[in-house]
Homo-oligomer: A and B are copies of this chain.
Amino acid sequence: MSQPASDPSVPRPSRGKFRPPALGDVKVGGFFGPRIDTIATVTAKTLLDRCVEAGMLDQIDPDRPRPGVRIPFQEGNDKCTTQMFWDSDLAKSIETAAYALYWRRDPELEARVDEIIDAYGRLQAPDGYLNSWYLRVDTLPRWSNLRDCHELYDAGHLIEAAVAYFQATGKRKFIDIMMRYADHIASVFGTEPGKKRGYCGHPEIELALVRLARTTGERRFLDLARYFIDERGQSPHYYDVEAAARGDDPADYHFKTYEYSQSHVPVREQRTVVGHAVRAAYLYTAMADVATEFADESLEPALRSLWAHLTEKNLYVTGGFGPSPDNEGLTFDYDLPNDTAYQETCASVALVNWANRMLGLGPNARYTDILERTLYNGALVGLSLDGTRFFYDNPLESRGQHHRWIWHKCPCCPPNISRLVTSIGVYLYGVADDEIAVHLYCDSTADLKLAAGTVRIVETSRYPHDGHVSLRLQTVPAAPFTLSLRIPGWARSATISINGEAIDIAAVTENGYARIFRSWAVDDQVELDLPMPVETMHAAPEIGADQGRVALQRGPLVYCLEETDNGAKLNSVGLRAGGAFACEETDDLGGVVRIAADGWRDTPAEPGVLYSAAAPTRSATTLRAVPYYAWDNRAPGEMLVWIRQEGE
Contacts and interface: CB of A to CB of B under 8 A. Distances in A.
Interface of A: 75-76, 311-313, 315, 317, 332, 335, 337, 339-340, 397, 399, 401, 490, 535-545, 547-548, 551, 553, 569-572, 574, 577, 602, 604-605, 608-616, 644, 646-647
6 shortest interchain CB distances as A-B pairs: A544-B571, A547-B571, A541-B572, A535-B613, A541-B569, A537-B611
A522 to B, nearest CB: 40
B644 A647 contact: no
B609 A540 contact: yes
A628 to B, nearest CB: 14
18 contacts: A75-B76, A315-B610, A339-B544, A399-B544, A537-B611, A537-B612, A537-B613, A538-B616, A540-B604, A540-B609, A540-B612, A541-B571, A543-B610, A544-B571, A545-B571, A547-B572, A547-B644, A548-B644
A541 B604 contact: yes
Given A317-B611, A538-B615, A540-B604, 13 more contacts: A312-B608, A312-B609, A335-B399, A337-B339, A490-B613, A538-B611, A538-B612, A539-B610, A541-B616, A548-B646, A553-B613, A646-B646, A647-B647
Nearest to A613: B535
Contacts of A604: 538, 540-541
A134 B535 CA distance: 65
Given A536-B615, A537-B612, A610-B312, A397 B571 contact: no
A476 to B, nearest CB: 38
B541 A610 contact: no
A544 B397 contact: yes
Contacts of A317: 611
A314 to B, nearest CB: 8
A536 B612 CA distance: 8
B311 A610 contact: yes
A610 B541 CA distance: 9
Nearest to A75: B76
Contacts of A540: 604, 608-612
A243 to B, nearest CB: 18
Contacts of A553: 613
Name the residue in A311, A335, A536, A538 with the highest tally of chain B Cβ atoms < 10 Å from its Cβ: A538
Contacts of A542: 569
A547 B602 contact: yes
Nearest to A313: B610
Nearest to A616: B538
Given A548-B646, A611-B551, A647-B647, A538 B569 contact: no
A426 B36 CA distance: 72
A337 to B, nearest CB: 8
A604 B548 CA distance: 12
Contacts of A608: 312, 540
A515 B107 CA distance: 88
A562 to B, nearest CB: 15
Contacts of A605: 538
A609 B315 CA distance: 11
Contacts of A611: 317, 537-540, 551
Nearest to A542: B569
Contacts of A76: 75-76
Contacts of A312: 608-610
A539 B608 CA distance: 10
Contacts of A339: 337, 544-545
A548 B640 CA distance: 15
Nearest to A574: B548
A493 to B, nearest CB: 13
Contacts of A311: 610
A313 B608 CA distance: 9
Contacts of A75: 76
A560 to B, nearest CB: 14
A538 B610 contact: no
A539 B536 CA distance: 26
A545 B548 CA distance: 12
A397 to B, nearest CB: 7
A28 to B, nearest CB: 28
Nearest to A614: B538
A614 B543 CA distance: 16
A76 to B, nearest CB: 5
Contacts of A538: 604-605, 611-616
Nearest to A608: B312
A544 B573 CA distance: 10
A573 to B, nearest CB: 9
A615 B613 CA distance: 30
A601 to B, nearest CB: 9
Contacts of A644: 547-548
A479 B317 CA distance: 73
A249 to B, nearest CB: 13
Contacts of A646: 548, 646-647
Contacts of A609: 312, 540
Contacts of A545: 339, 545, 571
A207 to B, nearest CB: 26
Contacts of A548: 548, 571, 574, 644, 646
A203 B646 CA distance: 48
A313 to B, nearest CB: 7
A86 B644 CA distance: 48
Nearest to A644: B548
A399 B542 CA distance: 9
A355 B553 CA distance: 49
Given A312-B610, A536-B615, A613-B536, A602 B541 contact: yes
A614 B550 CA distance: 10
A615 B578 CA distance: 11
